[in-house]
């Protein structure tokens, strides 16, 4: 199957600053794709190029197999098959109804059909009864729903979302997420969203792409990205807080022992002996206990607590076991174990919880 959208060697910059650097991406019809990456990585620029708001300095964009010209009316025709919800939502200084109707009017729809569509979508987003209100008088969450309705009423083939829930409270966020995924599924809409919120990407997307410094470093399903990041930068971005430098000592049928500052750490990997690697462990995969309980977890290291911070229902425990190790435990268990600075504990994690990657690649 041909991809619906293809970006080939896209480079783009603003005033001498390179934002995208030779980026390749293809997205299939009906796919939900999330672009994750830190601010300034080029997510918005990429979305703007896909929406044909911007012409890239170099590279080509293909839509449905057709190469998109750099100017001319065809761009408008193709753009009208997409909707883009920008990060900075701008409702127009018009009534809610007119805000939602404008895209259809611009496409030359009939009055009656517009009314039917708009009423329906306003009901979907829970804004019935707001039709006559000036959209500028709405709250942030309501305005975002107008923006969503305005984009969805067009029944686009492609829906682009740039940080759709930035600056919204958790309840509004959940509402928006639910609407997007529900409506996208109903119409088999291709979804491309940029977010720095990894859980949102995980929740809404079939596939996730990591954008760092204008390059698409890795693309794959959520498990692939979160469990097996390629490179230290991606690992750090997806929350692999423990990135330990080591050298493979012994290897045997897919398991290796990695020497990290004199500690042997067992991991699942195929790297050969002598390889310089990073052993990465997610902090939530480490359990902290007072006695050395050898279970199916294969690594148990003696450690001294150096710092405990409370993060809502969780406690972040920093330990020293010859190297720095961070674990996330529930606040309950932190209290039960009486974790305090100086306390002697055991940090335990499974060999399968360790992701080993070669040092010095991809960056």
Partner 1 sequence: MTEIWDGLTRAVQLIISFDPEVLEIAGRSLRISGTACLLASLICLPLGSLIHFRHFRGKRVLINIIQTLFSVPAVVIGLLLLVVFSRAGPLGELGILFTPAAMVVGQMILIIPLLLGLTISALSGVSKETADTAISLGASEFQTIWLVLREAKYAVLAAVIMGFGRAISEVGCALMVGGNIKGATRIITTAIALEAGKGELELAIALGAILLFLALIINIVLNRLQER
Q: Which residues bind partner 1 (CB under 8 A)?
A: 51, 53, 76, 79-80, 82-84, 86, 88-90, 92-94, 102-103, 106-107, 147, 150-151, 154, 160
For residue 84, the minimal CB distance to partner 1 (Å) is 4
For residue 27, the minimal CB distance to partner 1 (Å) is 18
Query: Of 118 and 319, which CB lies nearer to partner 1 in the complex structure?
Result: 118
For residue 158, the minimal CB distance to partner 1 (Å) is 11
Number of Cβ within 10 Å of residue 252's Cβ equals 7
State how far Cα 229 lies from the chain centre: 13
Query: Of 56 and 231, which CB lies nearer to partner 1 in the complex structure?
Result: 56
Query: Of 17 and 88, which CB lies nearer to partner 1 in the complex structure?
Result: 88
Q: Which tokens belong to 276?
A: 């310089």
Local structure of 256: helix, strand or coil: strand
Residue where the block lists tokens 């994750």: 36
Query: Of 2 and 111, which CB lies nearer to partner 1 in the complex structure?
Result: 111
Query: Of 77 and 253, which CB lies nearer to partner 1 in the complex structure?
Result: 77
Pair 154, 104: CB distance under 8 Å:
yes
Rounded Cα distance between 126 and 182, Å, is: 14
Q: How is 134-187 classified by DSSP, letter by letter?
A: BGGGS-HHHHHHHHHHHHHTT--SEEEEESTTTT--HHHHHHHHHHHHHHHHHH
Q: How is 33-85 classified by DSSP, letter by letter?
A: EEEE--TTSSHHHHHHHHTTSS--SEEEEEETTEEPPSSSHHHHHHHTTEEEE
Number of Cβ within 10 Å of residue 15's Cβ equals 4
For residue 155, the minimal CB distance to partner 1 (Å) is 12
Rounded Cα distance between 175 and 180, Å, is: 9
For residue 310, the minimal CB distance to partner 1 (Å) is 39
Pair 307, 341: CB distance under 8 Å:
yes
Burial-class residue 177 by CB neighbours within 10 Å (0-12, 13-18, 19+): middle
Query: Of 101 and 204, which CB lies nearer to partner 1 in the complex structure?
Result: 101
Residues 6+ apart with CB under 8 A from 67: 60, 61
Query: Of 2 and 70, which CB lies nearer to partner 1 in the complex structure?
Result: 70
Kind of pairing between the strands at 324-330 and 344-349: unpaired
Query: Of 87 and 259, which CB lies nearer to partner 1 in the complex structure?
Result: 87
For residue 349, the minimal CB distance to partner 1 (Å) is 46
Query: Of 92 and 169, which CB lies nearer to partner 1 in the complex structure?
Result: 92
For residue 123, the minimal CB distance to partner 1 (Å) is 20
For residue 106, the minimal CB distance to partner 1 (Å) is 5
For residue 91, the minimal CB distance to partner 1 (Å) is 9
Residues 6+ apart with CB under 8 A from 236: 243
């Amino acid at each position: 199957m041909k991809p619906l959208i293809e970006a080939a060697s896209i480079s783009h910059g603003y005033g001498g600053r390179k934002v995208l650097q030779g980026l390749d991406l293809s997205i299939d019809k009906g796919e939900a794709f999330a672009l994750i990456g830190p601010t300034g990585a080029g997510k918005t620029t990429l979305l703007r190029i896909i929406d044909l708001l911007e012409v890239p300095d170099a590279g080509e964009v293909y839509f449905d197999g057709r190469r998109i010209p750099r100017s001319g009316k065809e761009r408008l025709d193709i753009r009208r098959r997409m909707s883009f919800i920008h990060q900075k939502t701008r409702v127009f200084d018009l009534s809610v109804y007119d805000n939602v109707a404008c895209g259809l009017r611009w496409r030359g729809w009939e009055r009656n059909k517009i009314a039917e569509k708009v009423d329906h979508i306003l009901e979907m987003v829970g804004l019935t009864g707001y039709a006559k209100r000036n959209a500028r008088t709405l709250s942030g969450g309501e305005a975002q729903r107008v923006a969503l309705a305005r984009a969805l009423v067009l029944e686009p083939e492609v829906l682009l979302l740039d940080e759709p829930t930035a600056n919204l409270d958790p309840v509004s966020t959940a509402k928006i997420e639910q609407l997007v995924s529900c409506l996208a599924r109903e119409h088999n809409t291709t979804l491309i969203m940029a977010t720095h919120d990894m859980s949102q990407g995980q929740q809404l997307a079939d596939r996730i792409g990591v954008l760092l410094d204008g390059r698409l470093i890795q693309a794959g399903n959520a498990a692939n990205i979160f469990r097996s990041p390629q490179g230290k930068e991606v690992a750090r971005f997806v929350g692999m807080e423990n990135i330990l430098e080591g050298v493979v000592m012994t290897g045997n049928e897919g398991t290796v022992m990695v020497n990290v500052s004199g500690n042997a750490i067992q991991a699942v990997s195929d790297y050969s002996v002598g390889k310089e690697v990073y052993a990465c462990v997610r902090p939530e995969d480490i359990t902290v206990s007072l006695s050395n309980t050898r279970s199916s977890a294969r690594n148990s290291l003696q450690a001294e607590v150096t710092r405990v911070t409370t993060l809502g229902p969780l406690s972040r425990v920093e330990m020293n076991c010859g190297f720095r190790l961070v674990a996330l435990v529930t606040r309950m268990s932190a209290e039960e174990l009486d974790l305090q600075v100086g306390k002697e504990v055991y940090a335990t994690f499974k060999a399968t919880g360790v992701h080993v990657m070669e040092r010095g690649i991809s960056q």
